[in-house]
Amino acid sequence: MATKKQNKLPYEDSLDSIKEYVDLKIDEKKLILTKNLAILFNKIIYFFIIILVIGLAIGFLSSFLSQWINSLLNSNDLGTLIVGGFFILIGIIVFLFRKKLFTNSMVKMFINMFFNNKEDE
């Protein structure tokens, strides 16, 4: 009985090699994507933890600062108003420079992650 290998036409070996090459390239791209997504989620989690810790510290420090200013000015509300105004000013500055601070850095990070895979090749 003849085996399947003996009945193959000459171009079928090339087609099998091409299919195997395409499958390997697909697997390679899946692995690169998985690695990049893991890095991305790691950075997101790290970012949120840092923001949480910094937010708590700023909350406690601003509470202390408003009470201290209240005691200096002998007012119950003026220190809180000054600290609140300071945070509004910081918010306006961050809003005005949001593209330079956030968008450009995020675009650069994604470009480096998805298009500069020289170590993977």
The amino acid at residue 77 is: D
The pTM of this model reads 0.60
**Nearest 10 degrees: Cα torsion 52, 57, 63, 64:** 170
If pLDDT is split at 50, 70 and 90, which confidence band does 121 have?
very low
pLDDT of residue 120: 47
Q: What is the mean pLDDT of the chain?
A: 85
The amino acid at residue 118 is: K
- Cα distance between residue 88 and residue 91, in whole Å: 5
- Cα distance between residue 109 and residue 39, in whole Å: 11
Give per-residue pLDDT as tens, 29-87: 999 889 888 888 898 899 999 999 999 999 999 999 999 999 999 988 999 999 999 99
